[in-house]
Amino acid sequence: MKKKLHPIGATITNKFQLIMKTNKILPLIRLLCVAAIATALQVAAIPQLTLLPIADQGTNRVYSFSAGVTVGTNYRLQASTNLTAYNWMEVGSATAAGTNLLLSVTNAIATAPSDQFFRLVEATVISTNTVVTNGLLLATNLIINPGVTVSAPGDITINVTGATTLNGQIQAAGNLTLIAQGGMDVGANGLLTAGSNVIIVSSPSLIPTQPQMSNTFAADVGISTGNSGGGASLRGKPTQLPPITGGLNSKVANIWVDVGGILNVGDPNNPAAPPIVYPPMNNGVPGAADVSGVNANAKGANGDIGGGVSLSADEINFNVPVTFTSGNGGNGGDAKSAPSSADATATAGNGGNTGSFSFVASDGINLNAQVTLNFGVGGNGGNAVAFAANGGPNMRGYNATATGGNGGKSARSGTTTGSVQGLQNLVVNAQKGGQGGNASAYGGFGGADTNCPGTVGGPGGNATATAGNGGNATSSLTGGVAGSINPGPGGDAGNPFAAGFTGGNGHTCCNPPQGQPAGNGGKGGDATANVGNPGLGLPLGNVPPPVGSAGSGGQGGNGMGPGKGGGMGIGSPNPQVDNGSPGADGKVCPF
């Protein structure tokens, strides 16, 4: 890069832009030319730039210059105090009616920066509704006029190497990714609409992966300063987060913002503007069920977490009242085992937690107005049903174990660190915790004794049912005091039901002429029904009582020595779960 002083009235040729450095004290202009930066558009060459005399008008100093331009092309005059990216502010604009364009900038002499750079850039102005069929729009400086909609039938990626001015709408049926490398202004009618994720970043390298988003929204709430992903701390053209609406279901999957510089939520110049209510994030995907009735060991999948909101910048300012709502957790998958030659186990999936919120800034977070974080509902735990097979001759009945899924959380704890101002404006609201899953277990019948002399019938299969816990609906904030943290109702625990089955009967051995000793009955299967824990919240979740019954003992066979009846199965907890009955003893053969 080479600096050179030029006299007033000198001309310089620069293919893409003029960069002009001024000094507020000396009445001269120093020109600095840099190599052109590669852009997504074929920018028309600017053949000549001519500096005009500087004029002092009272307390102001006016810098003027003319440029040889292309007729009908839109141009933007930008200024910066240094040449670092993100530091260019728009100070003028014009559309070339002829081949010569006159532009001027007025600075107050007393407050003007000691050094200032100017550049002239082209702007892409979209003034009619536009459908982006290939899902990609590239621009140097992008302006979407009021009443205009840029849409895509699927995903859309808009990469703007300079400044973005959103006065109209951008709509995408899928993901909407906006790479606003030079910041973004949002007009009164600016709006984003997406059927999936809304992603706003200041560099293509900051576009998140799906696992990155999932890991962020699986963590607890974070409101912290000291490290952000947006890069170095740069004070240039800010990015304003536009209002957002959802697609067909009025929701978006996630909101992810990672920019350098300042991120404004709401117009910083209009704190009296109406509150902004962002749409709820998408619900988590339900866990897959395993209810085919084929497997002795069935397992439902866990529900996914709900969608969330992540904002990252050098500085974040909430300038107007704003509301974010995370997505509901997905329900856990049901599980139903089938009788087979093995003990039956059915384990349902847990409900997913509501999504989370992450606000990270390297320099500071300012809650200048109320920020409301509404959590979604916790996902319900899946239901589990285990059917065990009956035992073969003289064999025990198979055992059954069913475990309901736990309900998901409807609130997340939070941590705040660093320079966070205005926490008294933070309001946190929880919803209802997820319902714990029901569990039902049915042991198999013990197999009958088939021997003479008799032996013993098989014991009945045991049954163990454990209901799922209700999801918690309480939140807290470590490191600061929020204005209000409001719990929701705790999730109810699931219903447990366990049924132990009858032991096998002893064999009757009354064959003439004298008969033989008979078989004893098998013991009845035990039944255990474990209740789940209630979800924490206001009020606590309900805990249904355990229900079930143990199996009765098998009957003793008749013989010359009759068989003894089998022992009763034990219910737990008793008396909520009934004990079985002892099996009846056999009788002596009637001869």
Reply yes or no on whether the pLDDT at 104 is more than 60.
yes
The Cα-based distances of 492 to 300, 304, 467, 474, 548 in angstroms read 20, 20, 10, 14, 20
> What is the predicted pLDDT for the residue at 29?
32
The three state secondary structure string of 141-196 is: CEEECCCCEEEECCCEEEEECCCEEECCEEEECCCEEEEECCCEEECCCCEEEECC
Query: Read out DSSP for 534-557?
Result: PPPSSSPPP-PPPEEEPPPPPPPP
Residue 343 has what pLDDT?
96
Helices (H), 325-400: none
Beta-carbon contacts of 286 under 8 Å, excluding residues fewer than 6 positions away, are 303, 304, 330, 331, 332, 333, 379
Distance CA 391, CA 525 (A): 12
pLDDT digit string, tens, across residues 388-402: 999 999 999 999 999
Three-state secondary-structure class, residue 258: strand
Provide the residue type at 49 as one letter: L
Alpha carbon 201 to chain centroid, angstroms: 18
What six digits make up the tokens of 233? 């701390």
CB 405 within 8 A of CB 461: no
Q: Average pLDDT of 43-56?
A: 58
Q: What would the pLDDT profile of 541-551 be if each residue is shown by its tens digit? A: 999 999 999 99
- Does residue 8 have a pLDDT over 60? no
Out of 66-75, 415-424, 516-525, which region has the weakest mean confidence (pLDDT)?
Answer: 66-75
pTM as predicted: 0.81
Cβ atoms of residues 63 and 55 within 8 Å? no
Answer yes or no: are the C-beta atoms of 24 and 61 closer than 8 Å.
yes
Residue 269: count other Cβ atoms within 10 Å of its Cβ. 8
Find tokens 């059954």 and name the residue: 400
Q: Alpha carbon 190 to chain centroid distance?
A: 24
Instruction: Sheet containing 463-466: give its strands across.
Output: 297-299, 344-347, 400-403, 463-466, 527-530, 571-572
CA distance 175 to 191: 15
- Tens digits of per-residue pLDDT, 314-343? 999 999 999 999 999 999 999 999 888 899
